[in-house]
Amino acid sequence: MKRLFALWATTVGKKVAMAVTGIVMILFLVSHMISNVLIFKNPAHLDSYAAWLRSLGPALWIARVGLLGAVVVHIVAAYQLTMRARRARPIAYDRHEKQVTTYAARTMRWGGVLLLVFIVFHLLHFTTGTLHPDFHPGEAGRNVIEGMQVTPVAIFYLVSMLALGLHFSHGIWASFGTLGFHNPAYNQWRRLLAWGVAILVAGGFATIPAAAILGYLK
Ligand code: HEM
């Protein structure tokens, strides 16, 4: 435990924590996305998924606490690394020449903040129903279809999924580097995998609000 705290105190330790917690969240999101797109087959599939989650009882709560812990560690590490970087250069550069970087890399912090706002909204929308126009507990399929009929909400979901895709593509790419895989020989595969997972997960989720806006999901 002492060793773990000593590692956490270092910059590399915080980056490793971000990579590991990021992977935990991605695993959750892959299964969440697959369960959600089943709504196109039959909205009842989503109800069974929600019922199955509840049937897990205490295991669901362990998973929820684990997921929440991963989110908290990820955010705290990101915040502390940002502050460390600022302290290392308290006076901004006179001229700011753009490094060879990607749009996804430059939007990590703002994208992360938007995702945090999204998650809070999302839980109040589909889990508690507080921000839902016509919430029916236990009827997840119906709640998603009804909730997505509110166009500004569906647009917010789409924008958030764009942020999620960008965040993922850079996050996955950077995690591999942190965990020691940065041999130029397979950098191309690393980038391909990062974009592939990002497009698959964010794109899969995005089909739901997009279908609602286009009138295919009602
Ligand atoms: C179009 C995209 C999405 C749809 C339609 C959707 C749908 C849902 C639904 C219906 C629930 C409630 C399940 C229940 O009845 O308990 C839920 C829960 C949840 N969603 Fe999503 N979701 C989407 C995207 C996301 C994203 C991108 C994230 C994370 C960044 C996310 C994180 C969560 C979490 C953490 C829960 C709570 C799980 C629990 O504790 O039971 N969702 N989602």
The per-residue pLDDT for range 174-187, each reduced to its tens digit, is 888 888 877 788 88
Determine phi and psi for 92, rounding to 5 degrees.
-65, 155
Q: Which amino acids bring their CB within 6 angstroms of ligand 1? A: 29, 32, 36, 50, 53, 64, 115, 119, 122-123, 126-127, 140, 143-144, 157, 164, 205, 208-209
Ligand 1 centroid from CA 85, angstroms: 33
Alpha-carbon gap, residue 58 to 2, rounded angstroms: 30
Helix axes 140-147, 43-55, angle to 10 degrees: 130
**To the nearest whole number, what is the mean pLDDT of the chain?**
90
User: Coil, strand or helix: which one is 98?
Assistant: coil
pLDDT at 98: 56
Ligand 1 centroid from CA 35, angstroms: 10
- Predicted confidence (pLDDT) per residue in 38-61, tens digit: 999 988 888 888 888 889 889 999
Alpha-carbon gap, residue 156 to 146, rounded angstroms: 15
The residue whose C-alpha atom lies closest to atom 40 belonging to ligand 1 is: 64
- Predicted confidence (pLDDT) per residue in 67-126, tens digit: 999 999 999 998 899 888 888 766 666 665 555 567 777 788 889 999 999 999 999 999
The ligand 1 atom at the shortest distance from the C-alpha of residue 127 is 12
